[in-house]
Structure 1
Amino acid sequence: MKLLRYGPPGAEKPGLLDADGRVRDLSNVVADIGGDTLRSDGLQALRDLDPGTLPVVDGTPQKDLRLGACVGGIGKFICIGLNYADHAAEAGMPIPDEPIIFNKWTSSVQGPDDPIQIPRGSTKTDWEVELGVVIGDPGAYIDEADAMNHVAGFCVINDVSEREYQLERGGSWDKGKGCDTFGPTGPWLVTRDEVADMDNLEMWLDVDGARQQSGNTSTLIFRVPHLVAYCSRFMSLQPGDVISTGTPPGVGMGQKPPRFLKGGEVVSLGIDGLGQQTASVLAAS
């Protein structure tokens, strides 16, 4: 299934994408795409539905029908740093011995095509296409062999980052990662059963139509089952938590000379089978 949330910001409704690319309304079935809806039994109840019996929503998704973040009420937005060896090299940092964990504040979460706002005073706003993992069944101290049973599905994330705030202002990375609009998520949550090979997904990002990032999840240092198990050692994972798994090379910080977003650009990104995002960048105001 491809699950989504549609409608105006703050008033999104749950839906699913049918085989013809139309949005079907789930408002009379579930309250939202989040929380208990994402547990195994909740997803199975949605699979048992006949999409043809659900109301068709007017409009074409990502054209004249806005999509919100594909997960509602995200509890924790967990991110993994330097999880591609070639990205670590371009950042001038060693390959980590264990996953690097940081956070994006949930106030950064927005729809996949909503504008990205450069923060006031920013000079180094950057892009990062990433595979997002959405937790379904809760757990703590999860065995790696059982980790995928706790995953509801996958989505596209742009881990927008302000590099000066992240790396030059002291403290943790978090202050450069969680600015408002820095967490475009979606367009849809693709359930685990529809992703044939999560370890071989092509991913890309363009700025103004020029390819900046091109990678494949096959080169992840720490793969999804390990990340789920590892994170669960330090926090319980709850339905609707999101883990963003790291980015391949091609970020602005790693270019020579470095290139950062100033406003006026269009950033497009996508992952095979998971959809794509297209966002305008707004200058600081």
Structure 2
Amino acid sequence: MRFLTGLKDNRSFVGVLNEQLSTIIDLQLAEKALLGTNTIPDTLIECLNQEILLDTVKEIDRLTTNDSSYCYPLDEVQIQAPIPRPAKNIFCVGKNYAEHAIEMGSEADIPEHLMLFTKAPTSVIGPNGTILLHEGVTSQLDYEGELAVVIGKKGRAIKKEEALDYVFGYTILNDVTARDLQSRHKQFFIGKSLDASCPMGPFIAHKSLIANPNQLNLQTKVNDEIRQTGNTSQFIFDIETVISTISAGMTLEPGDIIATGTPAGVGKGFKPPRFLKNGDVIEITIEGLGTLTNKVGVN
């Protein structure tokens, strides 16, 4: 199941994308029409707290016909970020690919322990949303294609061998970064949290669709030029380790989002650097998760 947040006729709804990736089922309307019940919440983040959600969605999917009252062609829906406004900051793992750590410094920059920072919830935008150039604030805006983990169950002190049990699914995230702000402030929060600097989507693939999240191909293009290629097997800290480490003394909750790090090939890593410009189009593709596309603009 591929869960998303859509906008149609000025109404936001929780949807599921069909297997052909061509039609979206409006879950609330489909539930009323097919089951005569009203249990699907208004937002996807609320759905993650519903343990019976998957059974309900499976039954809706089994009974669904191509009824236009609750099934929409993909091109009739504005896809938003799956969780348009996270309840917390987005957790982000830094330098989780050795080659990226090296391009940002040297082999000495490869971390021995998990490196963690966060992005503000106000930075989130959806597919095809505009990444703001923020002229006058930064001149070094950069892209970072990443796999993001969406937590589906509350937990603290999660054991590594049980970590994936706490995952709801996976999506794509672009950890857009103002490199000059990152350097100037000697920490990452401001440089990572500018408005519209966290594109996410297009959907959350339920974990049942992803056989091994630590074995996924990732590619980032800027204006059709391949800039990043990698595989999550290259993680320094795998997803289980990341979840276990973060939760050691901190509670993870449904809807929490963890960006797992970016491979080599970011703009700052080129000589000379190749930072984003007005009109640039960034496409991030991850195996099983589709493609996240955004354009850079001034407003």
TM-score, scaled to structure 1: 0.92
The equivalent residue for 2:147 is 131
- Counterpart selection for 2:79 from 67, 82, 88: 67
Q: Tell me the alpha carbon deviations over residues 166-193 of structure 1, each in whole angstroms, 9 at most, x when there is no partner.
A: 12x2242111111111111110000111
Helix, strand or coil for the counterpart of 1:213? strand
Deviation at 1:211, TM superposition (A): 0.5
RMSD of aligned residue pairs (Cα, Å): 1.9
- Counterpart selection for 1:232 from 247, 250, 256: 247
State whether residues 5 and 15 of structure 2, in contact with CA within 8 Å, keep that contact through their aligned partners in structure 1.
yes
State whether residues 84 and 126 of structure 2, in contact with CA within 8 Å, keep that contact through their aligned partners in structure 1.
no
CA distance in 2, matches of 1:270, 1:206: 9
Deviation at 1:224, TM superposition (A): 0.6
The equivalent residue for 1:25 is 26
State whether residues 115 and 279 of structure 1, in contact with CA within 8 Å, keep that contact through their aligned partners in structure 2.
yes
CA distance in 1, matches of 2:231, 2:57: 30
The equivalent residue for 2:33 is none
- Counterpart selection for 2:276 from 248, 261, 266: 261
Deviation at 1:152, TM superposition (A): 0.2
State whether residues 32 and 72 of structure 1, in contact with CA within 8 Å, keep that contact through their aligned partners in structure 2.
no
The equivalent residue for 1:152 is 168
CA distance in 1, matches of 2:203, 2:250: 26
State whether residues 68 and 111 of structure 1, in contact with CA within 8 Å, keep that contact through their aligned partners in structure 2.
yes
Structure 2 residue 58 is the aligned partner of structure 1 residue 47 = yes
Q: Tell me the alpha carbon deviations over residues 120-140 of structure 1, each in whole angstroms, 9 at most, x when there is no partner.
A: 321100000000000000111
CA distance in 2, matches of 1:56, 1:125: 40
Structure 1 pair 273–38 and aligned structure 2 pair: CA distance change class (3 A): farther
State whether residues 73 and 240 of structure 1, in contact with CA within 8 Å, keep that contact through their aligned partners in structure 2.
no
Which structure dedicates a bigger proportion of its chain to helix? 2
Structure 1 pair 47–153 and aligned structure 2 pair: CA distance change class (3 A): same
The equivalent residue for 1:2 is 2
For 1:40-189, what aligned pairs fall within 5 Å after superposition?
40-50=51-61, 52=64, 55-60=69-74, 63-76=75-88, 77-93=90-106, 94-121=109-136, 122-167=138-183, 169-189=184-204
Q: Tell me the alpha carbon deviations over residues 21-80 of structure 1, each in whole angstroms, 9 at most, x when there is no partner.
A: 2100013433211135355443343234335157544332xx452111112441231100
Structure 2 residue 222 is the aligned partner of structure 1 residue 207 = yes
Structure 1 pair 70–234 and aligned structure 2 pair: CA distance change class (3 A): same
Structure 1 pair 185–141 and aligned structure 2 pair: CA distance change class (3 A): same
TM-score, scaled to structure 2: 0.88
Structure 1 pair 92–70 and aligned structure 2 pair: CA distance change class (3 A): same
Which structure dedicates a bigger proportion of its chain to strand? 2
CA distance in 1, matches of 2:54, 2:261: 26
Structure 1 pair 86–44 and aligned structure 2 pair: CA distance change class (3 A): farther
Deviation at 1:264, TM superposition (A): 1.2
**After alignment, is 88-97 or 131-140 more displaced?**
88-97
Helix, strand or coil for the counterpart of 2:79? coil
Give every structure 1 segment of 4 or more consecutive aligned residues whose post-TM-superposition deviation is greater than 6 Å. Answer: none
CA distance in 2, matches of 1:242, 1:105: 11
Helix, strand or coil for the counterpart of 1:185? strand
Structure 1 pair 44–222 and aligned structure 2 pair: CA distance change class (3 A): farther
CA distance in 1, matches of 2:176, 2:10: 21
Query: Which has more radius of gyration?
Result: 2
What is the total number of aligned residue pairs between the two structures? 281
**What amino acid is aligned across from residue 72 of structure 2 in structure 1?**
D
CA distance in 2, matches of 1:134, 1:205: 21
- Counterpart selection for 1:252 from 256, 267, 285: 267
CA distance in 1, matches of 2:202, 2:209: 15
**What amino acid is aligned across from residue 4 of structure 1 in structure 2?**
L
Helix, strand or coil for the counterpart of 1:247? coil
